[in-house]
């Protein structure tokens, strides 16, 4: 839609009237931290740090024009005040209880919003230990087969919308990483998928059933974990059919975030990379789940892809063609909900001389993921009101393993992702792209 | 010159016929490593890693077009085979002796090029211990006053050009950091500066005299150190008058390189930064020079400016308005010519929760600087042949403290710098800028 | 007193009846953390972790005997329940206020003891900005001269003892580091020192006046900071005269603690050390005080001595004779009361091959110092009841810069210090020393 | 034998006349580095850094006596000049070839000793891929059964002794880590073991056959790897029967060396430890072997035991009773023969407040192991001449997993190990133990 060589035409975007409901399968550390932060921000208790929709400015026109509005003043986004929250969980009954179990937020930060948090109840979940062997579900839906369970989710969605008086909904998967799987026949198209649910096909995981329920209900969907949810053909076809936007996958936090910042830097300066060793220690439910090799494999696949697409070894074999990339995750209870990522990077420069970089990132997973959930909710809602459907590639900025349009490799470089996001917004609103050429 | 809204017109660029002479005041670790690497590359012994002009590709058109030539095949740059080398040094008599003293390169790497290196003699230098108290010059020019010394440099330049049979020259300052100074009256315009040299004005430093000699001789100039050389008015005026391009300053290597990679990442994700503590240990001549508080101050100023222009605290006071930035350099002989930079970064996210990042960079200063010298030489030569003069802002990519056009703050974000560099090349050669918008 | 070749005779130690008052000049982070922790431990709210007197066992006899009592059950120490607290401060009025200002302890930990803490009032201090230029005193004693001020301290001590119904007292300096000074004539003997106080000699610092008041009053004294307090002749002579034990100096916490753990390890294995670079970042009052070069010099002297006495370069010139030891401290407000010490250690082994070790210690100064204060109070009290006076070299375990008996260098190796401490206790109580010989 | 309460009687030690042969199964990085370093030291080209027998002093008597001879002048050790070298290897034919393959030493260090190194040929090895699946042997002995193979080793030993004109021999296992196994019936006594060899019992590994050949031949044996070699009953019984000393196991290098230095320090100060996460990256043959889970398990067992015996959680449950200890090893080719160990240690102090320590050790495995091999050879030879047989517990100083005398746990604290080693030497030579008591 953007035409660099003529004045861009803005899209016709419906206004953000009424309430926007945010539905999250998996009421754990990420979703409760998201909810708590939005509630705190609404009361002016905390700034929504990390959120582009709430904090970032966007430059318009040439730099001497000085036009630099906030994104939320430039694009017609829903406001935080107009948001309602809901979700499903196999363990916790409400967001307050879940937040306390997770231990991400201090009691002092939960206190002023505890009543409101308690009011966000979680619905019983579609859950199957086959996919997350380390967890034991106690609040689990029962049904004749997967089709029946998916219908229950569709009903949950409809009831939530009515009870919470929402105009529009968005769903963001905030549940655990599911066991590794590859695409199978049942994922080939919507008909195969529906038949599969009726036949209780073992290749259909809970996250896929949530995705199906969302897309079928016309609700945009984002997948915060690395498992297959909307990245097989049935989902793209169903989304196109119903005119629903979706995006994925795996929130870009912690070590991978660092990687997609650093690797473009090495490449910008044409420095070679001989090896990259990454280890993570984490002590929460996520760590426990990923201690299972099946679930780790899903995550590992998501994490390993990053470097290749940024560094382009096929184009730069001398620099990146012989790169040993090792990623490890270890369950280490003393770390609690915090996470620590240690990277060793072996680079080389002029005349092949080697250098080393060590990065120790003492990070907080949910703190980094929460603003992503908020941004995805608001941007997917914007996309839907702007008449967009299918894969939203411009949201690759938020993903560890961004889905890409057919045939073209995904973009992992966070700075190109950022330009793509901002230039897409500029294009939708009828502004010129920013090119940073000499005289701009 | 680039016109996003119409087809760009390419510049008229003279071909790179004949030989290009690279003159370097300061025949130390950086210049000898540069020369050795180019000689080794010419013999196919080592790849010129880190050099955009030699290694990088540039995408042209939309990504599906698949046009991705190397920069050196796209832009009419001089080739490494056509380069000649020269310089001045107050201590070493030739490049081989200097390279051995510095200890950057292993004997095994010097052996195959030792004869050629020995042939690069260094001319006696304009040197004054007032500006570099830790060094003692033994091969130093004598003259009636600074004007006389500058004339000797002008003669050196002319003689070198003739003897080495060069068609064009470029000068890159690879000498030590000079003591801190602020602009004074003598820097106001070329006349004041010339009068100052005749009056032996104490505010005129050696690097300024080299810059004057270069610009007066029509030779493009780049300043690899943080001291004032071409960043006061006389230089811009003289360059405009003579139609000579120049650029500066302070090669972006090591810790600052990391900073300009990481800071844009934090900002892209709207993560707050509360503090950034940087310490360096280094054991070479550079370390000894910077152990003097006067010289350190020049370097400190250069290093401290980086974060503010990237993070824009005026636009983001909540995120970057209360940032403690501390930079220290320590002379530590065990490190030898290698350098180590340790950074602690205190960031904060959602609801203000703090996180920490530690980066330990075991780097090699000269290895990182050498490809910059090569690129600057070739790009400045291109600019001159393309009829450009004055400050080359598009080369800010290479600088710790990039000079900027009047009134507009310099750009430190290495990724914006990279886009600017590439889009400038595209524009000069008549290609559309790349915007990474949704449908590109 | 210990006779390895015959059965040791125990000392005659008076019982620890009645109350022990702990007086601390400087009611800041260290002293309030000490008091709070003892109060919490008395209520069973927190374990006195880090305290040998409260937590450690001591092996007696041969290992197969299995005699391994706790130190507090083996030696007749005063109990925490019998302790009273007092002190002086130029800024804070009581321990609760001071603790809250310092920010070491969380509110949740202060709450259950807040009343008791508030009851520990601080007396107005002898304070002089000449020695700590970065602090401004508001609760400061006035007097005709230093002699008069010291007399006020003597009266404070006596009044506290009576009001708090104490049988015995101990004083531990927990104030800031004073500006650097060297010994002068006024420190030569008790008479010169008293005359100096009367003459307002500028070489007499507040900490020396506190030390004099303690020793004159028969109160054991320990110096937790690196400035001169009891390490000049007058103090040793006065202590001998009055029969009072004393010890110093500079609590061994953080980076120096690590150094005295690691260096003995390298030496045990005969690994060479080429360099040791240590940098600290800290953001509290201590950090601010040490940002003044005069105060930093005092601390630097204390920190630099450590390696030489452990590594013995005079005995091992090939291994430790060419060691660059650099120590830096930087005020960095984001770190708050926490401290971070980063060390780079360059070692070398077999055939001279180099290796590197990096240690990043995210520590808490006051948390590490508090149990030292408690131990020193109880051990000095024990020494006094055991009839010991003068320098207590067996307490070098606790010091960054241990004072030593004339002519013999101080012991810094924490493991030898530990053996010395335990074997001294064994000897005092009539037990054989432990030698770890083959058949023990 | 040492009697603290009376003058010690020295042992009767035979003089070190004639040549001492050092036999090493496994001619790889460790053994060739050991040989090269001894050869270089004999020529005065490099100091034998890291070796107590060659570099360390030992204090005798009270510190004021000033008696501080070198260990080699105090104890009647064999000299380096009197050593001969031999070994077995399934891959390399001689020490020079092996050293070049390993890449530990630079060519410049091998050049002056290359002839001598080439003269150290390796005999074909007893090798079985069942125990080291990642290696492929090409120089492998064949035999009817394990008994037959062991007899071939016995013959190799005898022939080497004669050909090299040795008076005495020592064997140190420097081969790879074998796959994990537990003790079985075949290890119960020498008869069972011999019968097992004849029956080709699958529980008998190559390292055990080498140990049997050594002990049977009256040759002291040390086990540098973590697999079972001499730590089952048959070996102790055979050693007693033949009067041969032995010791083990697993050279204490790198990360475990650090651990046994740091952990005693935390314990000395009664600081709690909540967790210790250790990861290693290495790129050599050792790394490849340990990439196999079976071989890693053997190593992991050896590494995990360290903390418990130092920290004594049974005595200090509050401090060390809830400690998560995780050890990982990763094969990472870019590291080459160097090794990097990264540790995160979670400690806690006063009132339970947490602190963190990160240690990054850029080490060199073989450089750290080589002096251990030399010391073990000389000390085992001394023990044999002093009439000692069986387990030499005083050599635990050198081991990651020291074997201990029945019923008593092994000592891991490197400082207690060091005292034990030195006080044992003092006792054997008739000197008083050093106790570091107050008046010493």
Tell me the per-residue pLDDT of B359-375, one tens digit each, with 9 for 90 and over.
999 999 999 999 999 99
CB contact under 8 A, B40 and A351: yes
- Residue C357: its chain D contacts at CB < 8 A? 258, 359-363
Q: What are the tokens at C60?
A: 């007696």
Task: Give the tens place of pLDDT for each residue, B102-140.
Answer: 889 999 999 999 999 999 999 999 988 888 877 888 889
Q: Which of B43, B15, B33 is nearest to B251 (CA)?
A: B33
- Cβ-Cβ contacts under 8 Å between A and B: the total is 263
Hey, are the CB atoms on A350 and B362 less than 8 Å from each other? Answer: no
Residue numbers in C near D415 (CB within 8 A): 264-265, 268, 415
pLDDT bracket for residue C295 (50, 70, 90):
confident
* pLDDT the model gives residue C288: 79
Tell me what the pLDDT averaged over chain B comes to: 91
Nearest C-alpha in C relative to B281: C277
Q: What is the pLDDT of residue D147?
A: 96
Residues 6+ apart with CB under 8 A from D317: none
Contacts C–D by Cβ distance under 8 A: 263
pLDDT at A6: 52
Domain D254-364 = CATH 3.30.360.10: yes
d(Cα D212, Cα C50) in Å, to the nearest integer? 48
Strands D390-391 and B354-364: unpaired
- Express each pLDDT in D341-352 by its tens digit: 999 999 999 999
Q: Give the global pTM.
A: 0.92
* pLDDT score recorded for residue D6: 52
d(CA B55, CA C365): 50
pLDDT at res. D5:
45
- B364 and A348 within 8 Å at the Cβ level: the answer is no
* Residue of chain D whose alpha carbon sits nearest to that of A361: D358
What Rg value do the Cα atoms of chain C yield, rounded? 22
Q: What is the Rg, in whole angstroms, of the alpha carbon atoms belonging to chain B?
A: 22
Q: Is the pLDDT of residue B437 over 60?
A: no
Instruction: In whole angstroms, give the CA distance from residue B65 to residue B70.
Output: 15
Average pLDDT over residues B45-55: 96
What is the model's pLDDT at position B2? 34
The topology (CATH level 3) of A20-251+367-428 is Rossmann fold (3.40.50)
What is the pLDDT at residue B3? 37
Q: Quick one: DSSP state of residue D167? A: S
Note whether B275 contacts C335, CB cutoff 8 Å: yes
Cα distances from A48 to residues A316, A376, A398, in angstroms, run 40, 14, 16
CB atoms inside a 10 Å sphere around CB A305: 18
Residue-wise pLDDT tens digits, D292-333: 787 888 778 777 888 988 999 999 999 999 999 999 989 999
The band of A165, judged by pLDDT with boundaries at 50, 70 and 90, is very high
pLDDT band (50, 70, 90) for residue A412: confident
d(CA B212, CA D52) in angstroms, rounded, equals 63
Residues of B with Cβ-Cβ distance to A366 under 8 angstroms: 350
Q: How far apart are CA B147 and CA B197, in angstroms?
A: 5
Q: Which residue has the higher pLDDT, D357 or C137?
A: D357
User: If you measure CA to CA, which chain A residue comes closest to B253?
Assistant: A269
**Which residues of chain A have a CB within 8 Å of the CB of D272?**
none
Over residues D54-82, the pLDDT tens digits come to 999 999 988 778 899 999 999 999 999 99
pLDDT at C29: 93
CA D405 to chain centre: 17
Using an 8 Å CB-CB cutoff, list residues of chain C that contact chain B: 274-275, 277, 279, 281, 324, 326, 328, 330, 332-335, 340, 342, 344, 346, 358, 360
Is residue B303's pLDDT more than 80? no
Output the six-digit token pair for D292: 């196999």
Q: What is residue C7's predicted lDDT score, i.e. its pLDDT?
A: 63
What integer is the mean pLDDT of C253-276?
A: 93
List helix spans (H) across D59-205: 71-74, 95-102, 107-110, 114-118, 146-163, 190-198
Q: How far apart are CA C219 and CA C156, in angstroms?
A: 13
Cβ B306 vs Cβ B263: under 8 Å: yes
* Candidate ranges A215-224, C103-112, C304-313; pick with highest mean pLDDT: A215-224
- Minimum-distance CB partner of D332 among A326, A332, A358: A326
**Distance of alpha carbon D246 from alpha carbon D235, whole angstroms:** 9
Q: Which residues pair with B328 in a beta bridge?
A: B279
Query: Rounded to whole angstroms, how far apart are CA atoms A56 and A72?
Result: 8
Q: For residue B436, what pLDDT band results from cuts at 50, 70 and 90?
A: low
Selecting from A49, A258, A424 the residue whose C-beta is nearest the C-beta of B437 gives A424
Beta pairing partners, B347: B273, B355
For the ranges A190-204, B199-213, C421-435, the lowest mean pLDDT is seen at: C421-435
CA–CA gap between residue B326 and residue B348 (Å, rounded): 18
Chains with ≥3 CB–CB distances under 8 Å to C: B, D
pLDDT confidence bin for C438, thresholds 50/70/90: very low
Q: pLDDT per residue over A70-114, tens digit each?
A: 999 999 999 999 999 999 999 888 999 999 998 899 999 999 999
What strand order describes the sheet that includes C122-123? C122-123, C83-88, C20-25, C168-173, C221-223, C245-248, C390-391
Q: How confident is the model over D44-55, as pLDDT tens digits?
A: 999 999 999 999
Alpha-carbon distance of C81 to C41, in angstroms, equals: 9
Percentage above 70 pLDDT, chain A: 97
Q: Which residue of B has its CA nearest to C328?
A: B330
Length of chain D: 440
DSSP letters along C60-108, please? BS-GGG-B--BHHHHS-PPPGGGEEEEEE-SS-SBHHHHHHHHT-S-HH
pLDDT for position A291: 79
What would the pLDDT profile of B149-195 be if each residue is shown by its tens digit?
999 999 999 999 999 999 999 999 999 888 888 889 999 999 999 99
Token pair of B265 as six digits = 């990442």
Tokens 């106001």, located at residue: B188
* Subunits adjacent to chain A (3 or more Cβ pairs under 8 Å): B, D
Q: Judge whether B339 and B288 are in contact, CB under 8 Å.
A: no
Cβ distance of A436 and B414 shorter than 8 Å: no
Average pLDDT of the residues in D248-257: 91
* Secondary-structure breakdown of chain B: helix, strand, coil percentages, each rounded to the nearest 5: 45, 20, 40
Of A358-367, C330-339, C345-354, the range with the lowest mean pLDDT is: C330-339
B439 pLDDT more than 70: no
pLDDT score, position C1: 30
Q: How confident is the model at residue D437 (pLDDT cuts 50, 70, 90)?
A: low
Interface test with C, best of B321, B328, B334 (most C CBs within 10 A): B334
Looking at the partner chain, which of C36, C56, C426 has a beta carbon nearest the beta carbon of D270?
C56
- Ordered by start, the domain boundaries in chain D are 20-251+367-428, 254-364
pLDDT tops 80 at residue B87: yes
Rounded distance between C-alpha atoms, residue B10 and residue B430, angstroms: 4
Contact B349 A362 (CB under 8 A): no
Confidence band of D2 (pLDDT split at 50, 70, 90): very low
A204-227 mean pLDDT: 95
Model pLDDT, residue C244: 97
pLDDT of residue D1 exceeding 50: no
Looking from the CA of C337 toward its CB, the CA atoms found within 13 Å total 20
List the one residue out of B345, B381, B342 whose CA is nearest residue B362. B342
At C398 the three-state DSSP class reads: helix
Look at residues D277, D300, D257 and name the one whose alpha carbon lies nearest to residue D413. D257
Q: Is the pLDDT of residue D83 over 80?
A: yes
**Under CATH, which architecture does the C255-364 domain have?**
2-Layer Sandwich (3.30)
CATH topology classification for B254-363: Dihydrodipicolinate Reductase; domain 2 (3.30.360)
C4 pLDDT higher than 70: no
| pLDDT score of A184 more than 60 | yes
pLDDT in tens, A329-363: 899 999 888 899 999 999 999 999 999 999 999 99
- Sheet of strand D338-348, all strands in order from the earlier edge strand to the far edge: C324-331, C272-282, C338-348, C354-364, D354-364, D338-348, D272-282, D324-331
**Gap between the Cα atoms of A364 and A282, Å rounded:** 10
The whole-number pLDDT of residue B89 equals: 92
Minimum mean pLDDT among A66-75, D2-11, D232-241, D258-267: which range? D2-11
Nearest to D334 among A333, A334, A346 (CB): A346
What is the average per-residue pLDDT within C190-209?
95
* Interface confidence (ipTM) of the complex: 0.92
- Predicted confidence (pLDDT) at residue D438 exceeds the cutoff of 50: no
3-state percent helix, strand, coil for chain D, nearest multiple of 5: 45, 20, 40
Q: For position A436, what pLDDT does the model report?
A: 65
Each residue's pLDDT tens digit, A355-383: 999 999 999 999 999 999 999 999 999 99
* Nearest residue on chain A to B434, alpha-carbon basis: A435
Of all residues in chain B, the percent with pLDDT exceeding 90 is: 72
Q: Are residues B350 and A367, on separate chains, in Cβ contact within 8 Å?
A: yes
Q: Assess contact for C99 and C36: CB atoms under 8 A.
A: yes
- At B8 the pLDDT is 75
List C-alpha distances in Å: D253 to B74, C316, D7, D31, D54. 54, 22, 37, 15, 18
D133 — pLDDT class (breaks 50, 70, 90): confident
Instruction: State residue A3's pLDDT score.
Output: 37
Higher pLDDT, B2 or D235: D235
């Amino acid at each position: 839609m953007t035409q660099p060589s003529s004045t861009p035409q803005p899209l016709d975007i419906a206004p953000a009237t009424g309430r926007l409901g945010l539905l999250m399968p998996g009421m754990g550390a990420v979703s409760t931290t998201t909810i708590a932060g939005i509630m705190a921000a609404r009361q002016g208790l905390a700034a929504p740090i990390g959120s582009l929709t709430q904090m970032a400015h966007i430059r318009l026109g040439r730099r001497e024009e000085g036009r630099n509005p906030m994104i939320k003043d430039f694009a017609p986004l829903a406001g935080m005040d107009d948001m309602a929250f809901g979700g499903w969980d196999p363990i916790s009954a409400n967001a307050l209880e879940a937040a306390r179990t997770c231990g991400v937020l201090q009691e002092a930060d939960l206190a002023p919003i505890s009543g409101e948090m308690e009011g966000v109840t979680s619905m019983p979940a579609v859950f199957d230990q086959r996919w997350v062997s380390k967890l034991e579900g106690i609040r689990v839906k029962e049904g004749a087969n997967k089709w029946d369970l998916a219908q229950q989710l569709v009903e949950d969605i409809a009831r939530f919308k009515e009870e919470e008086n929402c105009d529009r909904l968005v769903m963001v998967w905030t549940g655990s990483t599911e066991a590794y799987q590859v695409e199978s026949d049942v994922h080939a198209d919507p008909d195969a998928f529906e038949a599969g649910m009726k036949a209780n096909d073992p290749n259909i995981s809970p996250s896929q059933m949530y995705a199906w329920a969302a897309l079928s209900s016309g609700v945009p969907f984002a997948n915060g974990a690395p498992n297959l949810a909307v990245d097989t053909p049935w989902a793209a076809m169903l989304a196109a059919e119903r005119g629903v936007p979706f995006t994925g996958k795996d929130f870009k936090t912690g070590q991978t975030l660092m990687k997609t910042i650093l690797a473009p830097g090495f490449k910008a300066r044409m420095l070679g990379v001989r090896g990259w060793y990454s280890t993570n220690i984490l002590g929460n439910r996520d760590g426990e789940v990923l201690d299972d090799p099946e679930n780790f494999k899903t995550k590992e696949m998501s994490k390993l892809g990053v470097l290749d697409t940024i560094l382009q070894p096929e184009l730069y074999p001398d620099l990146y063609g012989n790169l040993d990339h090792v990623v490890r995750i270890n369950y280490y209870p003393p770390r609690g909900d915090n996470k620590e990522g240690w990277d060793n990077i072996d680079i080389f420069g002029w005349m092949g001389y080697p250098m080393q970089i060590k990065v120790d990132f003492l990070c907080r997973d949910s703190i980094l993921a929460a603003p992503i959930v908020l941004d995805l909710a608001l941007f997917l809602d914007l996309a839907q009101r702007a008449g967009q459907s299918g894969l939203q590639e411009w949201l690759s900025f938020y993903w560890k393993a961004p889905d890409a349009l057919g045939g073209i490799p995904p973009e992992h470089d966070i700075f190109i992702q950022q330009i793509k996001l901002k230039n897409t917004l500029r294009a939708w609103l009828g502004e010129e792209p920013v090119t940073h050429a000499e005289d701009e």
